[in-house]
Copies of this chain bind each other. A is one copy, B any other.
């Protein structure tokens, strides 16, 4: 699972949302750094529907505009929890290794 997909699931984790709201939510989560395009969004949505990680929670017409609301399934919640835990583990390991890195001779000299 790649990051845009993970962000999508994260944006659905606390409450069901429709496509356009997801784009905004992801921008908010990432402090404006990630601007998901509709190409990425609807492709990922289709894929996640096929994988059973999300489902269509509602289809309604608001102000003349169709709106389809998606929600995480139990499987989606599980997948997100697993993925989050795995990523945290990798991040922790990366940081641990950086901190115990073999100090280069040049830098080691600073402690001599």
A interface residues, Cβ below 8 angstroms from B: 2-3, 6-7, 9-10, 13-15, 29, 77, 80-81, 83-85, 87-88, 90-95, 97-98, 100-102
Between-chain CB contacts (< 8 Å), 8 pairs: A3-B90, A10-B97, A13-B98, A13-B101, A14-B101, A77-B98, A80-B98, A85-B91
- With a CB–CB cut-off of 8 A, which chain B residues contact A13? 94, 97-98, 101
What is the total number of copies of this protein in its complex?
2
Nearest residue, chain B, Cβ from A83: B94
Whether A90 and B93, one on each chain, are in contact in the complex, defined by CB atoms closer than 8 angstroms, is: no
CB-nearest residue of chain B to A95: B84
Q: How far, in Å, is A52 (CB) from chain B's closest CB?
A: 17
User: Chain B residue with minimal CB distance to A97?
Assistant: B13
Question: Which B residues lie within 8 Å of A100 (CB)?
Answer: 14
Q: Pick the most buried of A9, A81, A83, A98: most chain B CB atoms within 10 A of its CB.
A: A98
